[in-house]
Amino acid sequence: MTAPELPTEPSAAHTIGEYQHGYEEESRLRGFRSGCGFVTATWGLRCPRCGQLDLEEFALSGKGHVVAFTVQTVPADEFVNDAPYAYVLVELEEGGRISGWMPAIRAVTDLAIGDRVRWVPSYKPGVQFEKDGAGAGR
């Protein structure tokens, strides 16, 4: 009888602390790519699709399009001076989805599914987006 195989440590070490520091202090938005093709903008050590540990870390452009959103009129404490604003789910150009917020969206008619958006580095918590390209200023 053989012992069960133990999981190995990822060879490309990345910690959630490094990820957060990169985002908050160095304005870097990073994604992770698995050998199976899965891409995510959410920090993790293991691919949620195939279980691979050795994820490739890469810089995201921060550009994408809105796949879902809602307008928040009752904000969290950090956003009390920004309400109303949009809470958005963005599909990034490189693949993967990330949630964030858009301070200039005051009503559901100010934004649409499919609108192009880009990431804006901000001192505020959360991943901030603004409209990008042809859809801007609608």
The string of DSSP letters for 38-56 reads -EESS--SS-TTT--S-PE
67 binding Zn ion? (CB under 5 A): no
Which of the ranges 5-13, 33-41, 79-87, 117-125 carries the binding residues for Zn ion, by CB under 5 A? 33-41
Q: Which amino acid type is present at position 73?
A: T
Binding residue (CB under 5 A) for Zn ion from 39, 41, 47, 92: 47
Binding residue (CB under 5 A) for Zn ion from 18, 22, 38, 91: 38
34 binding Zn ion? (CB under 5 A): yes
The string of DSSP letters for 1-38 reads --PPPPPPPPSS---HHHHHHHHHHH---EEEE-TTS-
Token pair, residue 6, equals 């133990």
Instruction: For the CB of residue 37, give the shortest distance to Zn ion in the complex, in Å.
Output: 7
Radius of gyration of the chain (CA): 17
Binding residue (CB under 5 A) for Zn ion from 10, 21, 49, 68: 49
- Nearer of residues 50 and 107 to Zn ion, judged by Cβ: 50
